[in-house]
Structure 1
Amino acid sequence: MKELNLPRFKFKVKESDHGTDIWDEFRKKYVALTPEEWVRQHFLKFLSENLGYPKSLLKSEFEIKYNRMRKRPDIVAYSNQGQPLLVVECKAPEVSISNETFSQATVYNQVLKAKFVVITNGLQHFCCEQSIETGTFQFLEKIPAYKDYMNLSNGV
């Protein structure tokens, strides 16, 4: 798989009848190792190991409903209070980040109402704070660490 603009992590991979699988420690199962999955697994580890998001508060590839349609956000990080904090949309490295990619993530966020939206293809990462009331974005220079958000939300 392609080298990403993220720290290197060790993963358990195995060959199966349909190709290569990677162990997803968050979903507790092996999943097909696609380029997008490679990005998703790296970003999950980046959030937990580098930015301090508790593994128990990270959820990956689960179903939500938006206007009767079933959608599957790539990654959602929750606060200690169980509120969605960060929505991450992952794309394969060869997929350019576009307005369409941002639109996809904001659709998820209309349901989840997280404070932050992150878009990544493993090479480029964009993070913005979204105002749910106005739908506007403010791009941030970096993805907030979990402790930074918790300090802000506690008024420290």
Structure 2
Amino acid sequence: MTHGTIYDPIRKKEVPNTPEERVRQATVRYLLHEVKVPEHLIAVEFPLSTIDPKTDDRVDILVHGFRTGATMDLPWLLVECKAPGEYTWEALQVQLNKYLKVITPNYVMLALGDTVRYFVINPETRRFTKIDSLPQFQ
């Protein structure tokens, strides 16, 4: 059930105010204000078909690594957001693994309601290491 709309500063429009969208917008605010990611490098509901036409998956939030010269398939951050109570960490991991077949981010952020987990990914081994928080965007 939605209660009106919520403004998305990245997509520059009102979107349905769903529990998942509230998590997504809280994450966007966190990235803008705490991590200091420039607004123009954030993509919301990013279609992975931009990189691999064979997929119709969408990533909740992607922070491009263009500043460091990275291509679209090597973003700085991939974020997956879910409303509280809708998913388990295991289900989130399965969804994330699908995305990681297409892109290799430096960092991954999983937001399950108010609970957030952060990881850094080794690009060679593709191994995840849990970290306490994201570094400031450079």
Q: Which residue of 2 aligns with 1:140?
A: 131
Measured against aligned partners, the alpha-carbon deviations of 1:90-123 in whole angstroms (never above 9, x if no partner) come to 0002235412202212322332211111100231
Structure 1's unaligned 5+ residue stretches are: 1-17, 151-156
Q: 1:54 to 1:63 in 2, by over 3 A?
A: same
Question: Partner residue of 2:76?
Answer: 85
Q: 1:27 and 1:144 mapped to 2: Cα distance?
A: 24
Name the structure 2 match of 1:105.
96
Count residues in correspondence.
130
- Tell me which of 53, 56, 60 is aligned to 1:74: 60
Q: Compared with structure 1, are the counterparts of its residues 139 and 67 closer, same or farther at alpha carbon in structure 2 (3 Å cutoff)?
A: farther
List structure 1 runs of 4+ shifted beyond 4 angstroms: none
**Please, what TM-score do these two structures have when normalized by structure 2?**
0.83
Q: State the percentage of identical aligned residues.
A: 30
d(CA) in 1 for partners of 2:3, 2:92: 28
C-alpha root-mean-square deviation of aligned residues, in Å?
A: 2.0
Q: Which deviates more, 42-51 or 103-112?
A: 103-112
Distance 1:36 1:82 in 2: 32
Task: Tell me, in whole angstroms, the C-alpha distance in 1 between the residues paired with 2:53 and 2:125.
Answer: 19
Other-structure match for 2:48: 64
Q: TM-score, normalised by structure 1?
A: 0.74
How many Å separate the matches in 1 of 2:134 and 2:97? 17
Relative to 1, partners in 2 of residues 1:61 and 1:144: Cα closer, same or farther, differing over 3 Å?
same
